[in-house]
Amino acid sequence: NGIAHVMALAGYDVLLTDVSAEALQKAIDTITGNLDRQVGRGKVAEADRDATLARIKTTQTLSDLGQSDLIIEAATERETVKQAIFEDLIPHLKPTTILTSNTSSISITRLASRTDRPEKFMGFHFMNPVPVMQLVELIRGIATDKETFAACRAVVEKLGKTAASAEDFPAFIVNRILMPMINEAVYTLYEGVGSVESIDSSLKLGANHPMGPLELADFIGLDTCLAIMNVLHDGLADTKYRPCPLLTKYVEAGWLGRKSQRGFYDYRGDTPVPTR
């Protein structure tokens, strides 16, 4: 929903699709709430909010996307899911449509190879929360042409964000650096070097991070963190990227962070409480 929010606010017509009508309605409700907050803070005019919402339509039918100029896939971080979406979508698209994925770690070249237009395919990775974060990673696959890259860079500029060009290697730039740090923080907890609270406080106060690594992991989603670490470990074959067993255990338990109300913190009360 964050991507739809910023695209529509920048003047693009947006068609948001999902298999779930409930998910689509939740997305519209979230976008509306976030725009209302921006209006309240004086960052967006009421007329612009109304115009933004009018530009967003929803559908559960993939064929409705056929006349789109740009597709941004933002499904869960599982390669088989993303491949299935593209395979179902491609027959409905016009030849000039650019395909992109918001993946945070999966090979763009491999995803592109399963489509009919690898030269018009690239990675378009937004940072969360999308309306707030200014960076977008642009990742070219081995076949991505210059025109596709230039078109996507122009979109980023129209959004008022900054593009970082990354090569197509596991986890690209941000997560290649960020996820091993989070994984090391989990190892620090796993080995008893520090508690959840002491680890997060140390990085916030000692390294001037706005969020501690375990708090950030909960915000991102522990399942997403684990998926990216597995991509790094499998793709680079280096033991330094081995996911911490404790991270795996939390995911197995369904403790995925904020979205499941429990992770390294328990969010079921008024104030988050460390779970270890």
- Residue where a domain terminates, one of 145, 168, 191: 168
Q: What is the CATH number of the domain that holds 130?
A: 3.40.50.720
Question: Residues 144, 184: one domain?
Answer: no
- Residue where a domain terminates, one of 60, 81, 97: 60
| Amino acid 8: pLDDT | 98
Burial (CB count <10 Å: 0-12, 13-18, 19+), residue 43: exposed
Question: Residues 147, 91: one domain?
Answer: yes
Question: Residues 54, 134: one domain?
Answer: no
Question: Residues 197, 133: one domain?
Answer: no
Question: Residues 187, 255: one domain?
Answer: yes
- Residues 230, 238: contact at Cβ < 8 Å? no
Read off the tokens for 118: 């690898």
| Amino acid 210: pLDDT | 95
Nearest one of 57, 65, 111, 109 to 86, comparing CA atoms: 111
Question: Residues 202, 144: one domain?
Answer: no
Neighbours of 95 (CB within 10 A): 7
Read off the tokens for 242: 């081995």
Read off the tokens for 124: 């378009």
Q: How many domains does the chain have?
A: 3
Query: Catalytic amino acids?
Result: 125
For the stretch 124-164, pLDDT in tens is 999 999 999 999 999 999 999 999 999 999 999 999 999 99
CA distance 17 to 1: 10
Question: Residues 27, 74: one domain?
Answer: no
CA distance 261 to 264: 10
| Amino acid 121: pLDDT | 98
Q: How far lies 141's CA from each of 23, 119, 138, in Å?
A: 30, 8, 10
* Beta-carbon contacts of residue 116 (< 8 Å; ≥ 6 apart): 90
pLDDT, block means (10 residues), the chain with 276 residues: 97 96 96 96 96 98 96 94 96 97 96 97 96 97 98 98 96 96 98 98 97 97 96 95 98 98 97 95
Residue span of the structural domain in which 186 resides: 174-274
Question: Residues 118, 100: one domain?
Answer: yes
- Report the DSSP pairing between strands 14-17 and 98-101: unpaired
- Residue where a domain terminates, one of 60, 79, 109: 60
